[in-house]
Amino acid sequence: DFEAETKSRSEELKALATAKKVISENTAGAEKLAYGLNQVSLMQLSTGTDLANFEAVRYVRDLARKHGSKSLAQLAARMASVTRSGLRVGEDPFGKVKGLIADMIERLESEADADASHKGFCDKELAETNTKKDDKTAEIEKLATKIDQLSARSAQLKAEVAALQKALSELAKAQAEMDKMRQQEKADFTKAKADTEQGLEGVKMA
């Protein structure tokens, strides 16, 4: 996770800065650091620079163990190797050790910048995605509401059509009955008229 990695890298940078400070402050007159060097059996550290280098190596190594950092452990190993090599040939390894620390700090800061840039990009993408998602959600809800309205309208229209069809059916039925009644009335009238005329004809003949 980004926050955990950032915290770990920040701790590594802080440790490296401290180690660098240890070397700088103890390059001259660092015999006071000898209290922790009684267990050194591989070599004899005689100068202030030697003592400062060893103290920095031990500091970085202890921190690597504390945080389980492979990069710091590798740096401590390189620092120790440079220190031993310098002592064997009588050179001052101070500059090389300090350079190793400076290079490591630069690399970690570069990684931190790259991670921060990537996180910024990811945050932006996430924000845009969430915005699009919110927009899509709002659009979907709007469409769903419209669909519900149209469905209700459709049901209403169907009900109205059914009512009109029923009314037309009733009207047609009433019209048919009325036509039937008129036909019957006409037939009755025609018959009554014929009977009346026939009666009148009979009266005249009498």
Segment 14-31, tens digit of pLDDT: 767 776 666 565 444 433
Does residue 49 carry a pLDDT above 70?
no
Domain ranges for the chain: 2-133
Does residue 44 carry a pLDDT above 50?
no
Q: Considering only 33-47, 65-79, 84-98, which range has the smallest mean pLDDT?
A: 33-47
CATH-assigned architecture of domain 2-133: Up-down Bundle (1.20)
Structure tokens at 19: 């180690």
- Report pTM: 0.46
pLDDT at residue 87, rounded to an integer? 61
Write the DSSP symbol of residue 46.
-
Report the alpha-carbon distance of residue 86 to residue 103 in Å, rounded: 19
Report the alpha-carbon distance of residue 53 to residue 82 in Å, rounded: 9
Write the DSSP symbol of residue 175.
H
53-85: per-residue pLDDT in tens?
A: 577 778 778 878 887 778 888 888 888 888 777
